[in-house]
């Protein structure tokens, strides 16, 4: 695992580029990355799709006379690297000067050894075993209940990502992590009506994908929605399931990015120090969370990662930055530079963004709700206006009566404002769950209005 970058030619590439750029630019940054992966999809008890991928490449950023240049290449020959370097420098001549251009200086970060990001079994498990995992996920969904008639996209995947950032200021850091995921959608049918249920497992270790549990929960989610009733318009309290709360937090996430604040594309412009949510709500971005999906000791340009409070007791604490946008804002980077790969330049991104869990368990929160709605699905979350926060979404879930989940409901619509919804949170449950890099517990809402039939 330690030699993956070296084996891909990282050391030679960095050395050659350093020599090619010497005396030709004021400063430079070299980003080298390697990605390997395998994915399998099962259907009807057999393998339906297989994908094996492997790639390596280098991205180069240069600064000369306050002008930026960029180039990338997946070909690492001397000639290709020379062409890339020359093109980056030449391209910068046509770019306007920018006084905020700079690369970070070396800083002290954590060792990745303690962050629990690597499964040493990666690459050592036979493909047949990974295919078997996808088939087992499908089988578990089908066997849970006879009303599960179809299964869609029973899949398993594993991948390894490793990268190195070197700049002319002395930064030289590496990062590596393995990723595992399994998921499935089950379709249950009864009386001519069908309902879908989804579940997944994910983490940095193979053991995070528990086939029987993923399949069973997907089937249970589908079957539990059979017999859903239409609702009349109602104004009541509600509990929003943790997975749905993750979707809502993801819609808010872009508003914490410093570039969006400066560009006028955030609903949090001018809100620092102001109340934007309920006093029970705390939101953090934690780049050094042990085992977090987006955890790393350093960000994508070599600044030490950290834990950043964004909302404390409902008050907006600030925003997230990389080196460039921090300079534009007159502040310091929060270690949130992010890259889509060696073919792109870095920008600001979240790491492990989450709403802190509260003190009450899910069942206790449902009992506290008494009569209301348990919302397990929102349709069209991607349509939420990320500047105003306004939304109108389809909804489905369960009627709650007497503090117990009574029966499934569907055909509802909920309209409002995202910050208004977060301001209406009465309790955060203890069931914090992450879907990728976004985490949230189930949320008890004082009151919502659901439009029905």
Q: Is pLDDT at 451 greater than 80 in this prediction? A: yes
Mean pLDDT of 302-312: 98
Q: Is the pLDDT assigned to residue 442 strictly greater than 70? A: yes
* Residue 274: exposure state from Cβ atoms within 10 A (0-12, 13-18, ≥19): exposed
Give the contacts of 7 (CB within 8 A, at least 6 positions apart): none
Average pLDDT over residues 95-124: 94
Per-residue confidence (pLDDT) for residue 2, from 0 to 100: 61
* 125 has pLDDT over 90: yes
148: Cβ–Cβ under 8 A, 6 or more apart, which residues? Answer: 141, 142, 186, 187, 188, 219, 222, 223
- Closest by CA to 136, choosing from 150, 156, 116, is 156
Q: What is the pLDDT of residue 245?
A: 98
Q: Note the pLDDT of residue 146.
A: 94
Residue 70 is predicted with a pLDDT of 97
Distance CA(358)–CA(419), nearest Å, equals 19
Per-residue pLDDT band for 452 (boundaries 50, 70, 90) equals confident
For residue 3, the model assigns a pLDDT of 86
Region of residue 377 (phi > 0: left; psi between -120 and 50: alpha; otherwise: beta): beta
- The overall average pLDDT reported for the chain is 96
DSSP of 335-373: S-EE-S-TTS--EE--SSEEEPP-SB-HHHHHHHH-SEE
Per-residue pLDDT of 389-402, as tens digits, reads: 999 999 999 999 99
pLDDT of residue 318: 97
The whole-number average pLDDT for the span 60-81 is: 96
The yes-or-no verdict on residue 176 having pLDDT over 70 is yes
- 234-271 pLDDT tens trace: 999 999 999 999 999 999 999 999 999 999 999 999 99
Is 4-219 a domain of CATH 3.40.50.300? no
Report whether 183 contacts 215 (CB < 8 A). no
Domain borders along the chain are: 4-219, 228-453
As given in the structure block, the two tokens for residue 18 are: 């350093």
Cα(129)–Cα(133) distance, rounded to whole angstroms? 6
Q: How large is the average pLDDT for residues 408-432?
A: 96
């Amino acid at each position: 695992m330690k030699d993956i970058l070296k084996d891909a030619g990282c050391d030679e590439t960095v050395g050659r580029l350093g020599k090619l750029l010497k005396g030709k630019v004021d400063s430079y940054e070299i980003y080298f990355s390697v990605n390997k992966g395998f994915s399998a999809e099962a259907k009807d008890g057999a393998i339906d799709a297989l994908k094996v991928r492997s790639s390596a490449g280098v991205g180069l950023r240069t600064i000369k006379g306050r002008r930026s240049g960029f180039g990338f290449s997946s070909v690492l020959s001397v000639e290709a690297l020379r062409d890339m370097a020359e093109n980056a420098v030449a391209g910068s001549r046509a770019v306007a000067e920018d006084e905020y251009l700079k690369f970070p200086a070396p800083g002290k970060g954590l060792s990745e050894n303690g962050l629990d990001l690597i499964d040493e079994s990666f690459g050592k498990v036979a493909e047949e075993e990974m295919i078997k995992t996808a088939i087992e996920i499908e089988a578990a969904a089908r066997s849970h209940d006879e009303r599960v008639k179809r299964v869609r996209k029973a899949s398993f995947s594993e991948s390894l990502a490793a990268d190195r950032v070197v700049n002319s200021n002395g930064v030289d850091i590496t990062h590596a992590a393995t990723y595992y995921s399994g998921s499935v959608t089950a379709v249950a049918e009864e009386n001519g009506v069908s309902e879908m249920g989804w579940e997944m497992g994910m983490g940095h270790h193979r053991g995070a994908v528990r086939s029987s549990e993923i399949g069973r929960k997907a089937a249970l989610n589908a079957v539990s929605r059979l017999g859903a009733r239409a609702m009349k318009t109602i104004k009541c309290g509600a509990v929003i399931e943790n997975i749905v709360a993750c979707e809502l937090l993801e819609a808010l996430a872009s508003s914490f990015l410093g570039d969006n604040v400066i560009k006028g594309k955030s609903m949090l412009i001018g809100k620092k120090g102001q109340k934007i949510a309920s006093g029970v709500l705390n939101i953090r971005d934690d780049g050094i969370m042990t085992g977090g999906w987006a955890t790393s000791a350093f960000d994508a340009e070599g600044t030490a990662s950290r834990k950043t409070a964004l909302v404390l007791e409902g008050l907006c604490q600030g925003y997230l930055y990389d080196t460039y946008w921090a300079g534009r804002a007159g502040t310091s980077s929060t270690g949130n530079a992010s890259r889509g790969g060696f073919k792109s330049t870095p920008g600001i991104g979240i790491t492990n963004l989450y709403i802190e869990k509260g003190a009450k368990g899910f069942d206790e929160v449902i009992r506290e709700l008494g009569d209301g709605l348990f919302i397990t699905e929102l349709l069209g979350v991607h349509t939420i206006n990320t500047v105003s926060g306004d939304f109108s979404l389809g909804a489905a879930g369960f009627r709650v009566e007497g503090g117990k989940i009574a029966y499934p409901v569907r055909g509802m619509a909920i309209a409002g404002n995202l910050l208004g919804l977060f301001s209406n949170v009465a309790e955060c449950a203890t069931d914090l769950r992450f879907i990728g890099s976004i985490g949230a517990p189930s949320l008890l809402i004082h009151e919502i209005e659901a439009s029905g039939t």
